[in-house]
Amino acid sequence: MRGRRPKPTRLKVLTGNPGKRPLNKSEPRPTPSAPECPPELGPAAQREWARLVGELSALNMITSLDRAALATYCGAYALWAEATEAIQKFGAMVKSPTGYPMQSPYISIANRQAEIMMRIASEFGFTPASRSRISVHDESRLPLFEQPAFLRASD
């Protein structure tokens, strides 16, 4: 599919639908719920999972369908943290087997995991730029797709 990815209807409602295009009334409406942490995640990833699920649950912004995407984010976070620790321990430059200095392989691991994290973070609204596109009002605690009264068309 070409072009920009479509914005979820919930975000269109929260941002005010500036384009005034019709909202998708047939979009699936999963019930907000906190998914269980996958057992495959390591300790660092599980700590990140618990932190994020708590935040997203408080905002009613997570469902059980988000489990795989959030698990991918948490796994990438854990690998990034491990690589960053290794860079701090061994340095950004290491000696090759022949004795010449070379970039630490942990740098490429950290960079790749950071790319994955940023891509998923923008989907969940973890970044300042992605949050700036969402306008939260007092009605933000409504069910996932209920439209706030101030955005409903007048009869």
Judge whether 89 and 100 are in contact, CB under 8 Å. Answer: no
pLDDT tens-digit map of 73-109:
999 999 999 999 999 999 999 999 999 999 999 999 9
3-state SS, the chain, equals: CCCCCCCCHHHHHHHCCCCCCCCCCCCCCCCCCCCCCCCCCCHHHHHHHHHHHHHHHHCCCCCHHHHHHHHHHHHHHHHHHHHHHHHHHHCCEEECCCCCEEECHHHHHHHHHHHHHHHHHHHHCCCHHHHHCCCCCHHHHCCCCCCCHHHCCCC
How many angstroms separate the Cα of 114 from the Cα of each of 97, 102, 109, 119, 120? 28, 21, 9, 9, 10
pLDDT tens-digit map of 22-37:
877 777 778 889 999 9
pLDDT tens-digit map of 104-143:
999 999 999 999 999 999 888 888 777 776 665 554 444 5
Taking 50 as the threshold, does the pLDDT of residue 70 lie above it?
yes
**Residue 150 CB neighbours (<10 A):** 9
